[in-house]
Structure formats: structure tokens, C-alpha cells
Amino acid sequence: MWRVGRTETFRRTARRFLRRRRPVHSHLLRVFELLEHDPFDPRLHTHALSGKLEGLHAVRVTYSIRLVVRIEAQQQEVVLLDIGEHDQVYR
């Protein structure tokens, strides 16, 4: 079982982001469940990022919404860093 941690920045960003997108809540809860079991579950479409986000991974919440995470395999922890529309989180 993996731990899912959240940075304070993520908490603030998620609160603002989700306030305007209530239907996303159920998708996000399902993503958290999948992350706890296996962050590389194919349903999450987890992929490594490059460029200035190198070393981080993106996880699909919906077709257009992504989570940016740091996966710490040795500690079996996934740290949530950012959430947003596809183009927002990759800026």
C-alpha cells in the first residue's frame, strides 16, 4: 500500500481548482484510491515528465485534468504537487 501525501501548495491549488469543478470530486477520489494501491496502474495513465518538470510524473484525472506528482518508490509514497487543466500544470 502506497501513502499519498499532499503539499500545502497542492492543498491551496486543489481547493481553488475544485471549487469551480464539483463533478471532478468523484474522479479525484477514485484516482486517490488507485494511487494508494499502485501509482502505475494503467487506468491512471501515469507518465514521466521532461523539461523543467523532469523527475516528476503526471497522472490523468479526466481527459483534460492532470495531477503532477513526485513518486518516491523506496518510501512507497506519492506526493501530490499540482492539479489543473492539461496546459496549466505543464507551464
Q: Supply the DSSP string of the chain, one letter for each residue.
A: --EEEE-HHHHHHHHHHHHT-TTHHHHHHHHHHHHHH-TT-GGGT-EE--GGGTT-EEEESSSSEEEEEEEETTTTEEEEEEEEEHHHHT-
51 domain-assigned: yes
CATH of the domain at 13: 3.30.2310.20
- 32-52: pLDDT as tens digits: 999 999 999 999 999 999 999
Q: Which domain holds residue 12?
A: 3-84
54 domain-assigned: yes
Segment 14-28 shows an average pLDDT of 89
The number of folded domains in the chain is 1
90 domain-assigned: no
9 domain-assigned: yes
91 domain-assigned: no
Q: Check whether 69 has a pLDDT greater than 90.
A: yes
